[in-house]
Structure formats: C-alpha cells, structure tokens
Amino acid sequence: MKRWSFKVKVGIYSALLTMAALIAGAAVMMVTLYFHQIAELDEELAEDAEELVWDLGKFRDAPADPLQALDHEHIPVPLREHYLIVEGPGGHVVYRSRNLRGVLLDAAIGKPRTERIHGKRCRVGTWREGSYLVRIGARVDMIHRFMKHLGVGFLTSLPAVGLVVFFGGVWLARRTTAPLAELSETAERINVGNPDERLPMPEARDEIAKLTEVLNRSFDRLRGSYQVAARFSADASHQLKTPLAILRAGLDHLSRATELTESQAVEVATLRQQTRRLTSLIDDLLLLAQADAGRMVPDAEVIDLAVLLRGALDDLEVLCADRNVRQEADIPAALRVRADRRLIAMVLQNLVENAAKYTPEGGLIRVRAGRDRQGVFVKIGNSGEAISHEERVRIFDRFRRGASVGGNVAGHGLGLNIARELVRVHGGDLTLNDTGSDWVEFAFRLPLSPDAGLANL
C-alpha cells in the first residue's frame, strides 16, 4: 500500500472505515432489534394468556369450576400450536397441551425466559389470570430466521457499499488534491532557467492557500540564495584566473632556469602540474556557473557528430595505451546534428575519460551512436564493477567520485555533472543506463533538427 497513490489510499481507507462503521452499527442494531422482538413476543404471550381466561368465561360449554379439566376445544385456535399448561387453584393442572410430552414450563410469574423444549428454543412465560395460572411457551424460530436473513442480507450488501465508498473516496480525493496537482505541475517548471515563476494562489483562503504562500516565500529565498552562490562562484573563479595565469607563467619561466638542482626541478614540475589541475578546475567551475545562471547559450551549427566521435576514440587509445583495454565502436559514416561543436566535444571528452578511468585491466570499452525517431544518441559503456543503487542516485553530483580502479587521468568529480549540463543546454539529457552487473553505460541523446538532414535514419 505504500506505493499506491494518495487517491487510492483515501478510497481504500474510506471504504474500510465505512464498512467497519456499518458492521459495528449493524451489530448494535441487530442486538437491539432481537430484544425488541423478544419483548413483543412476551407481550403477545401475556395477551394470549389473558384472552384464554376471558374466552373461558365467555365460552358457553366451558366449565364454571376452575378445578374442572379443560378439553382441547376450549383452547382458542391461535394457542393450540403453542406449549400450554393451565392450572387451577392449588396448582391443579386442568390442561396440558399434547406437544409438551412431559415437559414442564416453570418460568416465574411475570418473568418470561428462553429455554429449550424438545431441542428447540422457546420463549416461556407464566401469568395469573383470575382463578387460573397460565403457562405458555412459543418457539422463537421466526425471530431467529428473520435475524439470520437480515444478517446475510447486510453482509451481502457490504461489498457493494465498499465499492461505492471506494470510488466516492477516490473522486473526493481527486477533487481535494486537484489544487495540489496544479501546484506540483507549476513547481516542476520552477528551475534555474525559470526562477521567477511562482505557484498560483487559489481563490479560497484555505490551508492550500497558506501552503502556497509559504512555498512562494521559500522559492523567493532560494532564488536569492542561489543567485548569490552562483554569482560568488562565477566571480571567485574569474578572479582566480589571473593570479593562476601569473603563477603558471612564473613556474614555466622558473622551470627553464639552468641553475636549479635536480630536486628543485622536480618540485617545480610538481607545482606546474598542480597549477594546471587548479586551472582546469576553475574552468569547470566557470562553465558550471554559466549553466547554473542560465547564461550558457550554445553556438549551434550543423556538425558531423561522427567526426567528433572518431576524435574521441583517438583520445581513448592514448588514455588506454599502457593498459590492455579493448575498444569497440559502432559509429555511422556520417551523423549530422545541430549542436555546439566545442561543447559536444567536451561532453565526449569527459565520457571517454570516465570510461578509461574505471575500466579494469583487460576490460572493454564500447562506443555506439546512431539516429532514431527520438533523436541522435550516443552510448559509451565499459566493463567493470557494478554501480550500487546508492551510487547511481548520486553519480551526477558535483565533486562525487568513485573509487578509481585504473587509468592515469586525473579528475575532481565534475566531469559527469558538466557533461550532463552541456547536453541539457542542447535540449537533451545524459543518463546512466540500467545494465548488467559487469557493465556500466552512459548515454546521451540530442533532439532532431530539421536542418540537420535525415541521413542514417
């Protein structure tokens, strides 16, 4: 149930709650109804006893002496099917119905009770009317059958009631959450490229309106914080470029000095390498700052992506030159697409460097590309250890690096994030495909462009 939608949950909970309430109410109702019918039967038996004695006083052939025995004809027709004992003064029995067959009716006077007669449940009562003591018993089968049919009918109707309440709950939840769905749809559009859009305020001043106000204020604060962070990142990266350029120039000049000792020359070479890494990091940060600020506009033109892919394969051979790593390629002769040549080349460079770093000795790197109805696709995969679910979720996070298993390409955990941002500014996306346990594959897709031609379809 955790994976079901909110509307379905509301429908199920409403149906279960309604059926539980109906069952509880029906239980109370049936108990009340049962005792009400028993009370009515007791009143009916009391009236029958009174009517019996009244008829004996009015019946022409009835004996005047209350000690004289009564015949079957003296008993009113409605009472002949009941269990009946009539006693005269002193407890002398003047009549016993034939269906009793020796059973005694010994209920206290005016206090009817339920007992079994010949295996059947009966209601038995005793009333004194004039000179006679009348004991009457009547079967309660009709009451029990009625209660049983009532219970069966109620239980049979429960599924229909549950279905009606379920669909009613789903409909009510849909109507209730419709404003929330609209808010969610609008919130999805609020991003770096569209930071000024806000959630629409509902007409009703209810809890949803209050939530909308809180979220809009939160978006305002986030936009301000994000703009400050992006501006700081861009400004800091830009300000660092000049001193780094001076530092690199000084180290280059120092490395050409002939009076350096061997240890000093090694130290200068190390500093030059670290300076180049720092310069590369600053360039990456500037690139990401432009993407975050929405100021990166690709200089799109019709290019042959196959040419860039073959260049990336050449780079891949150099990166894997000192290791036994096989390479496979499935690239068409020409693959025209409208994109920024420089940015797409950076995407390919980051992906092949990533594949080279994480492909073990004796592994395989495969590059595939083509065109389909959805656009132009490129897939770069490599053999290696499977990426866990936790790592897959955060694989595109900035400064997120996996454990290197080989290769000599340095990095600082920005390559995949930069590659994805560069693909996205072209209207595409970069994803990590769900592959087998010993294969890792990244794929990006660029949208079709009418002026790029229909070759290789």
The last residue of a domain, from among 261, 292, 323 = 292
Domain count, the chain: 3
pLDDT at 330: 92
Spatial CA neighbour of 128 closest among 183, 86, 176: 86
- 259-278 pLDDT, tens per residue? 777 787 778 788 877 777 77
Angle at 451 between CA 380 and CA 420, to 5 degrees: 30
| Residue 419 counted as domain residue | yes
DSSP 8-state symbol, 412: -
The CA distance from 457 to 453, in Å, is 10
8 A C-beta contact, residue 211 and residue 218: no
Residues 20 and 73 in one domain: yes
Element (H, E) at 114: strand 113-117
- One-letter amino acid at 354 equals N
8 A C-beta contact, residue 94 and residue 144: no
Residues 305 and 419 in one domain: yes
Pairing of strands 132-139, 83-87: antiparallel
DSSP-H helix ranges across 296-439 = 305-319, 341-358, 389-393, 415-424
By the 10 Å C-beta count (0-12 exposed, 13-18 middle, 19+ buried), 239 is classed as exposed
Residues 282 and 249 in one domain: yes
pLDDT at 31: 93
8 A C-beta contact, residue 147 and residue 30: yes
Query: What is the CB-side half-sphere exposure of residue 275 using CA atoms within 13 A?
Result: 18
The last residue of a domain, from among 124, 145, 166 = 145
The CA distance from 298 to 302, in Å, is 12
pLDDT at 192: 60
Residues 305 and 389 in one domain: yes
8 A C-beta contact, residue 356 and residue 326: no
Spatial CA neighbour of 432 closest among 385, 396, 399, 397: 396
Spatial CA neighbour of 364 closest among 381, 388, 347, 385: 381
DSSP 8-state symbol, 159: H
Angle at 117 between CA 119 and CA 144, to 5 degrees: 70
- Number of other CB atoms surrounding residue 165 within 10 Å: 21
| Residue 62 counted as domain residue | yes
Residues 306 and 285 in one domain: no
Residues 241 and 358 in one domain: no
Helix (H, G, I), strand (E, B) or coil at 445: strand
Residues 79 and 140 in one domain: yes
DSSP 8-state symbol, 451: G
- 178-199 pLDDT, tens per residue? 777 777 777 777 766 566 677 7
pLDDT at 331: 92
| Residue 201 counted as domain residue | no
Look up residue 423 and give its two tokens.
Answer: 């693909």
Which stretches of the chain score pLDDT less than 70? Answer: 1-2, 60, 191-196, 203-204, 225-241, 258, 280-295, 400-412, 436, 449-457
Residues 404 and 315 in one domain: yes
Return the CATH number at 272.
Answer: 1.10.287.130
| Residue 366 counted as domain residue | yes
- Number of other CB atoms surrounding residue 10 within 10 Å: 20
* 3-state helix, strand and coil shares in percent for the chain, rounded to the nearest 5: 55, 15, 30
Helix (H, G, I), strand (E, B) or coil at 110: coil
8 A C-beta contact, residue 304 and residue 265: no
Provide the domain limits for residue 213: 207-292
